[in-house]
A and B are shown apart, each in its own frame.
Chain A
């Protein structure tokens, strides 16, 4: 009788272990999907067009200027049949001065472009400047392949505004963007 009771307890234990497995597997899958730095598919979107493939990359890196509290977010759109990529920026600042030139400065090299204004609108006590500019795809790939973070300089009518990106954030995210650019080049067959 006692033996039967023991058996039944053992079955319950094994049942409980069986029920725990799906949760354990789900948790591990979740952990791998969230933590995996190698999975670059969530960092870009692609769309097949009549004249090539359109890629959209949104780096999770913000340029800022700690002294005046301004910051800049950007995204990159690239159509594979073109040599240049579109870099759209959202610059949040106190001033309303228009931007005449955007430059990336890194290791003594400078990549510049003359942007076009999309809009300017207020956000809380500041202004959001939205501009579009074009940079060579190869220059951008070179920029993101470097370990040292670049400076971004916005040339305005009231002078130049210098913005920097956190070095650790750059090291972490530039690798991903560089891998996306490498993948685009490989897909093009370059």
Chain B
């Protein structure tokens, strides 16, 4: 019983010490990250619509969301994609969000 208790405490401490909410970004800051970057460009030009999709993570323990290009394009009714941007935000490794912006018509 005592061994299990120690093991459980050890696991919690290890998780607390090692985990933090990391986000996909070309640059990352330990304290704060808010970086926008390009993902892809197509030969289509002349965007009139913008669609977004977002996923988030808490402490690197729980991460949820659908950040697929399809979801972002669908949110604005985009059928021809022009280009895609991404944005990664993280605060102290506690809360992180990853967002994509799909441009098109």
Contacts and interface: CB of A to CB of B under 8 A. Distances in A.
B76 A132 contact: yes
Contacts, number: 51
A119 B45 CA distance: 25
Interface string A115-148: 0001100000000001010000000000000000
Max count, chain B CB within 10 A of own CB: residue among A42, A56, A86, A90: A56
Contacts of A86: 48-49
B68 interface: no
A25 B66 CA distance: 36
A56 B101 contact: yes
Interface in A13-53: 26-27, 30, 33-34, 42, 45, 47, 49-51
Q: How large is the interface on A (under 10, 10 to 19, 20 to 34, 35 or more residues)?
A: 20 to 34
Q: How large is the interface on B (under 10, 10 to 19, 20 to 34, 35 or more residues)?
A: 20 to 34
A56 B102 CA distance: 11
A82 B39 CA distance: 28
A165 interface: no
B69 interface: no
A7 B83 CA distance: 61
B1 interface: no
A54 interface: yes
B45 A50 contact: yes
A131 B49 CA distance: 13
A36 B91 CA distance: 15
Contacts of B34: 33, 42
A50 B31 contact: no
B52 A58 contact: yes
A33 B46 contact: no
Identify the 9 closest CB pairs spanning chains A and B, nearest first. A56-B50, A30-B32, A118-B77, A30-B31, A77-B50, A54-B47, A50-B46, A79-B48, A49-B47
